[in-house]
Amino acid sequence: MRIEQAFKDLKGSLSIRPIWHQWEKRMDAHIFVSFLAFCLYTTLRNLARGQATGLISEAILEKMSNIQMIDVHLPTTDGRRIVMSRYTQTEKDVSLLLAQWGLSLPEQLPPKIYASGQIGL
């Protein structure tokens, strides 16, 4: 029951409409995603209980949703492109939460250079 509730909360937060499955594989995938949502909510609840009392899983997800990764594409004069993947800077409260939990964002990746016409995905 808690797994289903966690998945409903996550679907509500992401504004995902209900899906009626007609294939068993899709039902299995739905159950698996529900279980992952439950694991995420439980982990966040346990982390908050130990370090950030007063925060609930939904509030933590909302705070963490501000962390984004963007790709900056810069054209060069010789027709190539420089692609830099960058993480946005975290706000102070998010940085504090990450530090309390002993977590950090990965290092910024080095820039990549692609020849003209080459797709860097």
Average the pLDDT over 47-57 and give the result.
Answer: 76
CB atoms within 10 A of CB 118: 9
Whether residue 71 contacts residue 88, with contact meaning beta carbons closer than 8 Å, is answered with no
Average the pLDDT over 63-81 and give the result.
Answer: 86
Average the pLDDT over 53-63 and give the result.
Answer: 80
**Amino acid identity of 84?**
M
6-41 pLDDT per residue, tens: 666 666 665 555 556 677 777 778 778 878 888 888
81-87 vs 69-75, strand pairing mode? antiparallel
Task: Say what the pTM is.
Answer: 0.55
